[in-house]
Structure 1
Amino acid sequence: MNEQQHLETLSDIKRIMERSSRFISLSGLSGVWAGICGLAGAAVAYNWLHNYYLEWDARGGYSSGELPALRFKLLVLAAVVLAITLAGGAYFTWRRARRNNASIWDATSRKVAINLGLPLVSGGFFILGLMYNNYEPLVAPSCLVFYGLALVNASKYTLTDIRYLGITEIILGILNVFFLRRGLYFWAVGFGVLHIVYGIIMWWKYERVKRTV
């Protein structure tokens, strides 16, 4: 066995070990889909908030029930966007896993789900507490920071590129704290633009190469 064959054997072993220890079926198209959903949700929220403040200026105030109604609409919108995002992400990930003859749900993917879910669930309750105490300007930066922490935490069991996305989300959330009441713009960048850029890079780096081999 010559040196080239040794190197190829080592590369095969490395790929097998990586497949067994990391969940590598995440699709870059999932990131693009998440970004599109994030931007669409931000656009709808912006329209609602814009109309709300226009009416505020025209009337000089609101009844006590209108702000809770707006909050409820925004919560429903966030839930719908999240559901659509997860459904699309699951589809693209399943499609890539099937193409690679890999399982979408195994011990490694469960570790990803747990390490991703713990910061997200904790952040969700933290954000509900902020809203309960009328600290809405802190909601957007908190979303970005907790989401970034979740990505960094889960990156140990999947592609390391996700770690860089998580760090960027954390930095963006911290910056948002210094520009409160501009959260929707930071939200659109963090959950929209960054996801699209990340998804395109991941597709180009991992999926496009495999298609051209």
Structure 2
Amino acid sequence: MNSENYLKDISEIKNLMNKSSRFISLSGLSGVLAGMYALIGAAYAYWLVANSSDGYLMLNGKVFQLIIFDLLLIGFLSISTAILLTTKKAKRNGERIWDATTKRLLINFLIPLVAGAIYIIIILNHQKYGQTGALMLIFYGLALINASKYTVGDIKYLGYTEVVLGLIAASLPGYGFWFWVLGFGVMHIIYGTLMYFKHDRK
């Protein structure tokens, strides 16, 4: 009997330590919706380029500006949805949404992401468009891997996938758009669905 109680206490202590060191309320549904936003945004961007008079992107062109707005809108919707659904899940589970672990998660996620965004802006200013999709995938994947130690460990596998897709895209010029669709659209939907059934659904 004492042995059973001892094992139970050890299990409870382990769970408490895990909760205190990891942010575990990330919503799988937010990943699914982010993937859908990416697919819709990609379809719009493809339509813009296909129907432009030049047939290609120009740094100061209207089509380019619309695509930048499209990307920003996708990012805004994805982040807003993640915050909303994750906050709702945390409240439902009686967890704190903002603490030291959340801060560490955000810092570790944002460092590679911001560095990548700055680098992409620099190469776009030099009118080098070819590797943009690949770089977005690689830096986003690195951000996920870097932040994975502060949240559910499964997210690192999505990060590995994004990095691999980015490297393949870099080696296949002309296909970056389709790998972007696969990485930010399809993979988010697959990952979000798996996380929903594993962690969210009661």
TM-score (norm 1): 0.90
1:99 aligns to 2:92 (yes or no): yes
Name the aligned partner's letter for residue 153 of structure 2.
T
Q: Which runs of 5+ in 2 are unaligned?
A: none
TM-score (norm 2): 0.94
Instruction: Kindly report which structure 2 residues correspond to 1:2-17, keeping only aligned pairs within 5 A, or say none.
Output: 2-17=2-17
Partner of 1:19: 19
Name the aligned partner's letter for residue 90 of structure 1.
I
- Structure that is richer in helix per residue: 1
Which of the pair has more CA radius of gyration? 1
- Cα deviations by residue, 1:124-180 (Å, 9 ceiling, x for unpaired): 010001111111111000000000000000011111101110010000000001222
Distance 1:46 1:3 in 2: 63
Partner of 2:187: 194
Instruction: Kindly report which structure 2 residues correspond to 1:23-172, keeping only aligned pairs within 5 A, or say none.
Output: 23-52=23-52, 55-56=53-54, 68-172=61-165
Aligned-pair identity in percent equals 41
- Cα deviations by residue, 1:34-89 (Å, 9 ceiling, x for unpaired): 1111111111111111112xx347xxxx9x97962211111111111110111111
DSSP-derived class of the 1:75 partner: helix
Out of 171, 181, 185, the residue aligned to residue 174 of structure 2 is 181
Q: Conserved in 1, the CA contact under 8 Å of 2:113 and 2:140?
A: yes
Q: Which runs of 5+ in 1 are unaligned?
A: none
Instruction: Kindly report which structure 2 residues correspond to 1:195-210, keeping only aligned pairs within 5 A, or say none.
Output: 195-208=188-201
Distance 1:19 1:115 in 2: 18
